[in-house]
Structure 1
Amino acid sequence: MAALPASTRFGYSLGSFTTGAFGTVPGLLLLPYLTDTMAVPGAVAGVIVLVPKAWDVVFNPFAGRLSDASLARHGSRRRFLLFGGIAIAVLFAAIFAHPGFGGTAADASYVVVMFLLCATAYGIFQVPYNALPAELTQDAHERTRLTSWRIGLLAIAILISGGGAPAITEGIGGVAGYRAMGVVIGLVILIGTIGVTLGIRRAPVGALRPTTPGWRDLLATMREWRAFRWLLGVYFIQALGLGTLLAGVNYAARYVFGNADLQTVLFVCFVGPALITMPLWPRIGARWGKLWGFRFACVAFGVGTAFLCAALVLPLGVSLVFVALAGVGYAGIQVFPLAILPDLITMEEERTGATRAGVAAGVWTASETLGLALGPGLFGLLLTIGGYVSTVDASAAQPSSAVTAILLGFSLLPGILVAAGILFLRRPVLEGVS
């Protein structure tokens, strides 16, 4: 089967600037934005981060059905990408606008509403975006290459947004820093949206199959689709681990490594190796198979985060080496699930004769969103257990128990959750994955 043109791979991958910015920055900064500019308690802030994204668990499968129907009717999912992405950009800036209503409850409620609307817009964009690889090509190895391009640009997007957003907030400082950051990252999201919409305008869409008639049929499919459920379980657990790690970067820089400016350094050390080693993972998948490549990535991430448990006594340079090792594993655990998913979708569509890409992507995105949202909530709970003191002064001292909770939430817990995915990557369950 012919390889996709480089322009299609690149055009599709530009959407990673939208997904990378929205998937990264709230996980990094929303929790400290709430705890350290509005004095919201850690556990409450964790719930605020969770609730809007938990809504996506309900909404995203519905968005998937709408996307499938639009594909059958118009032959393209591009309108969903365009409208959803523009809405994300505007609402993202609104989240961090901090209107200052004069009370913690009112300000926090404003964040909840804006984040809820933004998460809904993200579902409208992300669901069709995840569905596209199953339609752009039927070749399993070409899907891995397409996904590696996507994750490569995702790494760049994360470097720009995840490294730039803390630099803007710290450089300007206070509420004004968060406001400026919201506008800048909103522009990054907008660029990604326009890029992918234009980039796939001449791309193939694959076979146009009828959509599934009703929800009962879809639920029956999910009950019978064992391989998808197992892969979904792995992805959810690992998204939870990554969400916990991202939520801890800001706190770890300040209280474990002793310098708030190290946020950007930590992020570059984590994502930079992921970008450099990205071409390696498709080769491993082609030689040993996607499942073994996925397992190797889980091990690399787990080993790196395990050694980070000693960050309080290790020299900074040594800790950064282990951050980089975790970043190498991070690249693989991003590439392989997204490369396996379209293989499973194709097999299921051939079995049923109906479109499954949008609905499967909706459930998939809901699981990812919930995991990434629960991560900060879990980290916020650890802060509360550790006795973290919420304040409007981000430089306030914290008890040693809070520092220990931050360290474990940044290292050991994410490593355990990601490595646990190995237990679910069983060949008999995922039969047919090459």
Structure 2
Amino acid sequence: MSPTGLPSRVRIGYGLGSFATGTFGTVPGLLLLYYLTDVLGVSAGIAGLLVFLPKAWDVLLNPWIGSLSDRSTGARLGPRRSWMLLGALTLPLCFAAMFAAPAGLEGGAAAAYVAVLFLLTASAYACFQVPYVALPAELTADPDERARVMSWRVAFLGVAILLSGALAPLLAGADGDDRGSAGGYRLMGVVVGAILAVGMCAAVVATAGAKSAVRTTSEPSLRAQLRAARGNAPFAWLLGAFVVQAAATGLMLAGTQYFATYILDRPSATTWLFACLIVPSLLAMPLWLAVGRRTGKRNAAVGASLCFLAGALGAAAGRELPPSLVYVAVALAGVGYAGMQMLPMAMLGDAIAADAYRSGRRRAGVFTGLWTAGETLGLALGPGLFGLVLALGDFVSSDADERVAQPGSALTAIVVGFGALPALLLVLSIPLLARYRLTEAELVRLRHESTERDEESV
């Protein structure tokens, strides 16, 4: 048990929930666009739109779920757990069904099927993810203990991303066709769905009954909560930067299979490219944690962004570089990716805590609802942009039984989407990130003022 009374079971169990968030944040972005264009024969432009629109729905849904979870303090499982359980029971089934299009379904019918299932899947994910992200700001009032909770989450997140990102492409090609087939994608959907179920149920069970350590009252309406979120400048700038960076990550994920198949001419290289992105990120997490403690979280986040930017620029030259240097460039992006994931999440917890200290209101759910809406929007925008780039490059879609020779313009589009556009988005995100000015010293001051007010009111 920690010095503040938070059991290890809660910290570790909370972290296990990242098996779900890391997996769902990775696999659709990595494989869904390719599944539509190269297995179901959906045109690239329509496929990109279908990948984007269902998650755009989260922009409306997530803040609403956050507002409801803010007011669920009397739930038997504890604050927010009933919503997490709803997501745990529905997301695995919807995910498996999304990659199990009926035999013979192609073109427009296949597109409609996947769009409906993706909408349901995204909604189920929101039910779990929004209250899940809100929990650390409420489980403890101790910033150091909150950092320990987040360290477990980030560790499991990295393992989940590596496991799902490497395993999913292998399962999709399990019948011997490393490009993937309908049967392989069905198998992948079932296995990944089981991973999602284990992670979410573990988080619900492990944190059930844990009480909020922050003395606040809930905001009376969603409108009031959204108004408060707009007035939180550190949160607003951080969210803007994170959405842009999520779009950059989504572009690179969506382009991995295309880059391996059409640029490296090795469809199985998808797994190696993904490993080059994720393994260095796992190794680099202690580095960024140390840099954040020494220079401040914001400065460390800027450094991580510049590292990812350098790697993306290397990937943009993928047609001219030998494969070994492409892998090195992707690995460099992976080092930056670690900091881009870990540091903004810690900064988000600080921004939520600062709001609670200032206002005395319980509205973490709306903040995390907006955050997860922005994250899913960014991750969906990436594949959507990649599909648009493919369409502009005259990419030729096909079904799983054939591989179509692509024109030179399509190959250029793949390289632009995989490297050049992510680099451009990183350039745009850095000024936004620099406007986040909530320091650790300011957070400590606000906490002390809040404690003094509570003592005076007793």
How big is the shift at 1:5? 4.9
Residue 219 of structure 1 aligns with an amino acid whose one-letter code is: L
| 2:294 matches 1:291 | no
Residue 137 of structure 2 aligns with an amino acid whose one-letter code is: A
Contact 2:237 2:435 in 1 (8 A): no
- State which of 424, 427, 434 in structure 1 corresponds to 2:432: 424
How big is the shift at 1:10? 1.9
| 2:111 matches 1:108 | yes
TM-score between both structures, scaled by the size of structure 2: 0.90
- State which of 400, 405, 430 in structure 2 corresponds to 1:397: 405
- Alignment partner of 2:285: what SS? coil
Residue 307 of structure 1 aligns with an amino acid whose one-letter code is: G
- Alignment partner of 2:61: what SS? helix
Residue 190 of structure 2 aligns with an amino acid whose one-letter code is: V
CA deviations 1:31-51 (Å, max 9, x no partner) are 111111221110100111111
- State which of 44, 47, 52 in structure 2 corresponds to 1:45: 47
After TM superposition, the structure 1 stretch with the greater mean CA deviation from structure 2, 271-280 or 386-395, is 386-395
After TM superposition, the structure 1 stretch with the greater mean CA deviation from structure 2, 392-401 or 256-265, is 392-401
How big is the shift at 1:422? 1.8
Contact 2:40 2:105 in 1 (8 A): no
Contact 1:72 1:209 in 2 (8 A): no
Contact 1:284 1:293 in 2 (8 A): yes
Shift in alpha-carbon separation, 1:394–1:200, aligned structure 2, 3 A: farther
How big is the shift at 1:352? 1.8
How big is the shift at 1:171? 2.4
| 2:104 matches 1:66 | no
Contact 2:234 2:436 in 1 (8 A): no
| 2:231 matches 1:228 | no
CA deviations 1:146-198 (Å, max 9, x no partner) are 32321221111111111111111122241101101100000010110122122
2:334 corresponds in structure 1 to 327
Contact 1:35 1:391 in 2 (8 A): yes
Contact 1:86 1:190 in 2 (8 A): yes
> How does 1:23-422 map onto structure 2 within 5 Å?
23-71=25-73, 74=76, 75-100=78-103, 102-172=105-175, 173-201=180-208, 203-392=210-399, 393=401, 395-422=403-430
Contact 2:215 2:360 in 1 (8 A): no
After TM superposition, the structure 1 stretch with the greater mean CA deviation from structure 2, 313-322 or 44-53, is 313-322
- Alignment partner of 2:362: what SS? coil
How big is the shift at 1:427? 5.6
Question: What is the alpha-carbon distance in structure 1 between the residues aligned to residue 430 and residue 144 of structure 2?
Answer: 22
How big is the shift at 1:76? 2.1
Question: What is the alpha-carbon distance in structure 1 between the residues aligned to residue 402 and residue 252 of structure 2?
Answer: 19
Shift in alpha-carbon separation, 1:317–1:204, aligned structure 2, 3 A: farther
Question: What is the alpha-carbon distance in structure 1 between the residues aligned to residue 154 and residue 109 of structure 2?
Answer: 38
Shift in alpha-carbon separation, 1:358–1:58, aligned structure 2, 3 A: same
Shift in alpha-carbon separation, 1:286–1:141, aligned structure 2, 3 A: farther
Residue 164 of structure 2 aligns with an amino acid whose one-letter code is: S
Question: What is the alpha-carbon distance in structure 1 between the residues aligned to residue 325 and residue 243 of structure 2?
Answer: 30
- Alignment partner of 2:230: what SS? helix
How big is the shift at 1:208? 4.6
- Alignment partner of 1:279: what SS? helix
After TM superposition, the structure 1 stretch with the greater mean CA deviation from structure 2, 105-114 or 336-345, is 105-114
How big is the shift at 1:396? 1.5
Question: What is the alpha-carbon distance in structure 2 between the residues aligned to residue 428 and residue 28 of structure 1?
Answer: 30
Larger Rg: 2
How big is the shift at 1:262? 0.3
Cα RMSD for the two superposed structures = 1.9
How big is the shift at 1:101? 5.9
CA deviations 1:7-45 (Å, max 9, x no partner) are 433211111111111111111111111111221110100
Shift in alpha-carbon separation, 1:220–1:234, aligned structure 2, 3 A: same
Contact 2:55 2:376 in 1 (8 A): yes
Residue 406 of structure 2 aligns with an amino acid whose one-letter code is: Q
Question: What is the alpha-carbon distance in structure 2 between the residues aligned to residue 113 and residue 252 of structure 1?
Answer: 28
Shift in alpha-carbon separation, 1:394–1:365, aligned structure 2, 3 A: farther
Shift in alpha-carbon separation, 1:8–1:309, aligned structure 2, 3 A: same
Shift in alpha-carbon separation, 1:385–1:329, aligned structure 2, 3 A: same
Question: What is the alpha-carbon distance in structure 2 between the residues aligned to residue 78 and residue 425 of structure 1?
Answer: 32
How big is the shift at 1:138? 2.5
Residue 82 of structure 1 aligns with an amino acid whose one-letter code is: L
Question: What is the alpha-carbon distance in structure 1 between the residues aligned to residue 132 and residue 42 of structure 2?
Answer: 34
Residue 428 of structure 2 aligns with an amino acid whose one-letter code is: A
How big is the shift at 1:100? 3.4
Shift in alpha-carbon separation, 1:180–1:315, aligned structure 2, 3 A: same
How big is the shift at 1:103? 4.6
Shift in alpha-carbon separation, 1:99–1:298, aligned structure 2, 3 A: same
1:2 corresponds in structure 2 to 3
- Alignment partner of 1:277: what SS? helix
Shift in alpha-carbon separation, 1:26–1:141, aligned structure 2, 3 A: same
Shift in alpha-carbon separation, 1:81–1:315, aligned structure 2, 3 A: same
Residue 44 of structure 1 aligns with an amino acid whose one-letter code is: I
- Alignment partner of 1:205: what SS? coil
Question: What is the alpha-carbon distance in structure 1 between the residues aligned to residue 443 and residue 371 of structure 2?
Answer: 17
Residue 149 of structure 1 aligns with an amino acid whose one-letter code is: W
